[in-house]
Structure 1
Amino acid sequence: MNAVVSPGPIASPLPVDKAVQLERLLEGLAPHELYWIAARSSVLAAGVQTVAPVARVQAGERVTVLYGSQTGNARRIAEQLSQRIELAHLPVRLVRADAYPQRELAQERYLVVVISTQGEGEPPDDARGLVEFITGRRAPRLPSLQFAVLGLGDSSYPQFCAIGRQLDARFAELGGTRLASLGEADVDVEAVAAPWASAVLERAREVVVKTPASVTRVPTLQAVPSRTTYSREQPFAATVLANQRIVSRDSEREVRHLELSLEDAGLSYEPGDALGVWPQNPPALVQQWLDVLQLDGAQEVSHEGRSLPLARWLSNERELTRLTRSFVTAHAAASGSDELVRALQPEQSADFARLLAEYQPIDLLRLHRGVWQAQALVVALRPLTPRLYSIASSTRAVGDEVHLTIATVSYHAHGEPHWGAATSFLAASDEDARVPVFIEPNERFRLPADPSRDIIMIGPGTGVAPFRAFVQERRETGASGRNWLFFGNRHFEQDFLYQLEWQEALKQGALHRLDLAFSRDAAEKIYVQHRLREHGSELYAWLKDGAHLYVCGDATHMAKDVHAALIDIVAEHGGQSTEDAKDWLAELLQQGRYARDVY
């Protein structure tokens, strides 16, 4: 399947006066209203007469495929399913959760939901409003609804697919009937998503009336596919142009800046998108596995129709650096470890969470010796999955290149060296090496369509990467809105990423404000959320005047702390209660004026 890539920015063909009129008309519209305008415009541009035909495809006579996605997996699965439904000549529309008109839920007859679960059982940002509506008191009765839900998650976390389970149960409680059973996809998404989608399609063929050839289909609300043949399934081998360390030699962490060539790839991206990288596991780690388990790397292993040497399976095909519940379960059986069996019990969830956080799989192989056969090992391990990195460049500034900012994972623990798969792979990629990549669009993390809008960017550590792209883009397009960056790291002299670029941007007027927080340079640790509070009055004034707010970085701690600080700022400087401040920020999130790229 071809990659779904949003088209690059297009210069406005409108005269200035008409462009201003259009901006005024669009001001304040909700996302689903903007989506409707875009879909309607595409139909008019094609010269299609739609009034009578579209009236024949009512909301209740089509399949609505709805998705809520944080990293792109749910969007990708939903797009694939909608295309299969369309190829079956069934009326279908694809809608992102925050663009779905909630009032239409009562009229839906066929609804398919693909949604991920984040962190501690939370919905993705683009689905928060819809999930609250469906699970709240205002949700309508749905006696005519036939539905199917696919939840995406990670079984290593206690709240595995919690949002998918919640919606599946709620639709049934409201009177709906299942088109297909609830699907619960683990990190190896395709293993569950593919058969689930086939079951949904088969059932849809039975119950949904086919679209007559004369009827114009409801426009599918999704990005226009790229003409390139490169995709997640068929990545492009990008040449490494530069790979340099951008922290001092004595920094506690190695952070690198990579520049890759996309020449002749036909790939395009926008600021805010991510680059998918297919990694290889470090050779030293592969050898550790073979040594500890006393297995022969040259032994041929056949699995799912493929036959490869065991070393090749471990290097290119299997996840070796991320500990999972499924592997702990399998190794508990292989080793006969009572300790691992106890850790897997529901009442030991806190201990199990610590196990996942502090150990890699190789640690368990050393601590709890067991006997593994090569075939069983390949089956027990998860398939290696691509890693996503926020793009740190604008094509307007760098042409057919894409830039990344990566923090290399390399440390000692339990008496042994440890590595991250993708960061080690990228860090070791010298100039002229080839890296398999693809573009992962991030529709929720976009610069304002109105270039006069101010933007506030909060990006500590490598979370600053997309904001390098934002500032480049705004500089190259001559955007008149102000740009305010909050950046934090450990030490000013060692870890000030892109320091010279930010200083030059300030001189040029491409960056209007820069506030810094270096947590280890003083007795009291200072983080970006502290700087937000210090400048709360002005920050709130920017937001009240229409500024867009962006947060990128760690989801576990930073994003939560920043959000808590924002609630306090809105409450204090907006004269609101804490609950009203939460609602106000939730509305910004729904409008797309508060966007988060957290991981």
Structure 2
Amino acid sequence: MNAISPVAGAFPGPAPTPMIPESAPFSPEQRAWLNGFLAGLYGGAGAAGSAAAPAPEPEEDFPWHDPALSLDERLLMAADKPQSRRYMAAMAQLDCGQCGYVCKSYAEAIASGAEGSLSLCVPGGKATQKALKALQAEAPAATAPAPTAKATGPAMVPIRVLAVHALSGEGSAKDVRNIVLDLEDSGLRYDPGDSLGLLAPNDPELVEACLRILGATGEEPVPCPDGMARPAREAFLTHLAIARPLDRTTDLLAGAAKDAKEAAMLRKLTDGEDDAEPQDADLLDLLEHFPSARPSLADLAASLPGLKPRLYSIASSPLAVPGKVELCVSVVKADRRGRVRQGVASSHLGFRAIPDLIEGEGHATPGDRERAITEIMPAYMQVSHFRLPEDPSTPVIMCGPGTGIAPFRAFLQHRAAQGIKGRTWLFFGDQRSATDYLFREEIEDWRADGTLERLSLAWSRDPGAKKTYVQDRMKESAADLWRWFQDGARFYICGDAARMAKDVDTTLREIAMKEGRMDADAARDWIVALARQNRYQRDVY
């Protein structure tokens, strides 16, 4: 961490006010808060009667913009703030871009009326949607900042899919794959901790089923989010999100429904009510379930969100695989309401893009390889805050069950390529040790050669064994974990935000209360302080 530097001349007298330099590893909001704190602390240090120079207008602080805090905690912190900031506190606080905004600009767009949908926050899900609706009901006429223009999205470049390798073993309940993509000539560069955004098309079979039930030929012109009109088939395949319609789509269907019961249920879906059916519906579900709801094809297309890139945590180091980037992808595939549902990007990457490479361990013949590298996907690189410490002697604790291992494989690959040993601790787990130990050979090699100092494994479905999760291993090693924190360790977590990350966060608080002898409030403040010091970093989704 860069040292705090005094700014000469900021205050007359012998005691200049220390300021956080712009090169320090803090966000603008964190730096503003710290500078304000230091100004308050040192403001009276000058000679008696000396007049301080006018302080610059401080940047606005957003203390609730912290994913380490629970939704209730964030809402409480913003309770006396303007309506747009209260909306912001209800977001998932990840600035992931999946909504087409960041948390602040999405909240301002809702407050100003520029954005009518309350269900854009993917990581926040139904909890965020309900909180936004409740806040909107409390102050429907609240004033807000001027509308913020919606982000146009990152510039994307084409990259090629090179290979797909099976990671989960035969008999696993999951289908996890190592995806290798070519970055040569793309201009894309990355560091461990960054994410790759990939724009995959919708499932062609789902597109055709939607067109059939609508009685459309697929050639009818419909509007797309970029303002262009395109044939319906092309729009549904590559421009519109039909796997996750928004509340404005269900609202449109409710208004078009000729059956009163269907209209009522669609309004429940719009409101995010728990008893509304069908839950987690795609467009085909809605069209099948509500046959009396048939708005015009153009209006239906206009209500659908634009198809957005999927972000994947990068699972490789550019030092280990120059010119390439690797991902660790769990292929989403589930039976629901009588048909198989597939993840848009995961299924495209896993088997639709290069079907010749998915047998066995993904080995390919020369002919398969030639076909494989014709698959091109638009991509962009998202630079992340998720970074290894600059000082390689800083202890690093990594918690990444399942595909959450991705950035930590990148971290360990990177350190191994540089010959850096020790002071690393990995918590990894999944269902079964025999089939779900992802990157097992590499991890055990790193453990053997000292790249990885400690390894804690947790298996929740091993035959005859007690269900064990990563947070259980953390509790078992509470005293050692606390010592690592006292030595300045950084803690990294990657994976599911709704369950695993919340459980790990709770466990960290419990460790602080037990080993640090803190009460609940102090443990919460300790977690927040870690996050503000970049010592608690989360890559959750």
> What whole-Å deviation, never above 9, does each CA across 1:305-337 have from its counterpart, x for those lacking one?
423211100000000111422222122223345
Matched, 1:584 2:526: yes
Q: 1:415 offset after TM fit, Å?
A: 0.6
Q: Which residue of 1 aligns with 2:33?
A: 101
Contact 2:197 2:381 in 1 (8 A): yes
Contact 1:392 1:403 in 2 (8 A): yes
Aligned length: 453
Give the TM-score of the pair, scaled to structure 1: 0.67
Q: Distance in 2 between matches of 1:352 and 1:326?
A: 19
Q: 1:486 aligns with which of 414, 427, 434?
A: 427
Q: 1:103 offset after TM fit, Å?
A: 5.4
Q: Distance in 2 between matches of 1:98 and 1:132?
A: 19
Q: Which residue of 1 aligns with 2:194?
A: 273
One-letter code aligned to 2:29: A
Q: 1:578 offset after TM fit, Å?
A: 2.3
Q: Distance in 1 between matches of 2:275 and 2:401?
A: 29
SS of 1:241's partner is: strand
**Structure 1 residues 123 and 283: alpha-carbon distance in aligned structure 2, compared to 1, 3 A threshold:** same
Matching of residues 407-426 of structure 1 within 5 Å: 407-426=330-349
**Structure 1 residues 132 and 476: alpha-carbon distance in aligned structure 2, compared to 1, 3 A threshold:** farther
Q: Which residue of 1 aligns with 2:353?
A: 429
Matched, 1:159 2:159: no
**Structure 1 residues 375 and 529: alpha-carbon distance in aligned structure 2, compared to 1, 3 A threshold:** same
Q: Which residue of 2 aligns with 1:518?
A: 459
Matching of residues 388-403 of structure 1 within 5 Å: 388-403=311-326
Q: Distance in 1 between matches of 2:341 and 2:489?
A: 43
Q: Distance in 2 between matches of 1:151 and 1:234?
A: 20
Q: 1:405 offset after TM fit, Å?
A: 0.7
Q: 2:480 aligns with which of 513, 526, 538?
A: 538
Matched, 1:255 2:255: no
Q: Which residue of 2 aligns with 1:319?
A: 241
SS of 1:439's partner is: strand
Q: Distance in 2 between matches of 1:586 and 1:256?
A: 35
**Structure 1 residues 572 and 334: alpha-carbon distance in aligned structure 2, compared to 1, 3 A threshold:** same
Q: Distance in 2 between matches of 1:132 and 1:401?
A: 42
Q: Distance in 1 between matches of 2:344 and 2:4?
A: 45
Contact 1:392 1:405 in 2 (8 A): yes
Q: Which residue of 2 aligns with 1:92?
A: none
Q: 1:508 offset after TM fit, Å?
A: 1.7
Give the TM-score of the pair, scaled to structure 2: 0.74
One-letter code aligned to 1:491: R
Q: Which residue of 2 aligns with 1:309?
A: 231
Q: 1:429 offset after TM fit, Å?
A: 2.2
Q: 1:374 offset after TM fit, Å?
A: 2.4
Q: 1:417 offset after TM fit, Å?
A: 1.5
Q: 1:158 offset after TM fit, Å?
A: 5.2
Matching of residues 350-361 of structure 1 within 5 Å: 350-351=273-274, 355-357=278-280, 359-361=281-283
Q: 1:300 offset after TM fit, Å?
A: 3.0
Q: Distance in 2 between matches of 1:132 and 1:330?
A: 30
Q: Distance in 2 between matches of 1:241 and 1:284?
A: 24
Q: Distance in 1 between matches of 2:487 and 2:186?
A: 41
Q: 1:111 offset after TM fit, Å?
A: 6.3
Q: Distance in 2 between matches of 1:387 and 1:489?
A: 23
Matching of residues 85-96 of structure 1 within 5 Å: 96=28
Matching of residues 276-295 of structure 1 within 5 Å: 276-295=197-216
Query: What RMSD over aligned residues (CA atoms) do the two structures have, in Å?
Result: 3.9
Matched, 1:373 2:328: no
Q: Distance in 1 between matches of 2:341 and 2:76?
A: 45
Q: Which residue of 1 aligns with 2:286?
A: 364
Contact 1:301 1:307 in 2 (8 A): yes
Contact 2:421 2:451 in 1 (8 A): no
Q: 1:588 offset after TM fit, Å?
A: 0.7
Alignment gaps of 5+ in structure 2: 6-17, 41-54, 83-102, 111-116, 120-125, 355-371
Contact 2:156 2:380 in 1 (8 A): yes
**Structure 1 residues 564 and 504: alpha-carbon distance in aligned structure 2, compared to 1, 3 A threshold:** same
Q: Which residue of 2 aligns with 1:454?
A: 395
Q: Distance in 2 between matches of 1:380 and 1:502?
A: 47
Q: Which residue of 1 aligns with 2:510?
A: 568
One-letter code aligned to 1:151: Y
> What whole-Å deviation, never above 9, does each CA across 1:472-511 have from its counterpart, x for those lacking one?
1122223345111111111111111111111111112111
Q: 1:466 aligns with which of 372, 395, 407?
A: 407
One-letter code aligned to 1:239: R
SS of 2:438's partner is: coil
**Structure 1 residues 346 and 385: alpha-carbon distance in aligned structure 2, compared to 1, 3 A threshold:** closer
One-letter code aligned to 1:582: R
Contact 1:260 1:401 in 2 (8 A): yes
> What whole-Å deviation, never above 9, does each CA across 1:348-394 have from its counterpart, x for those lacking one?
7442687544x323212111113243212211211111111101111
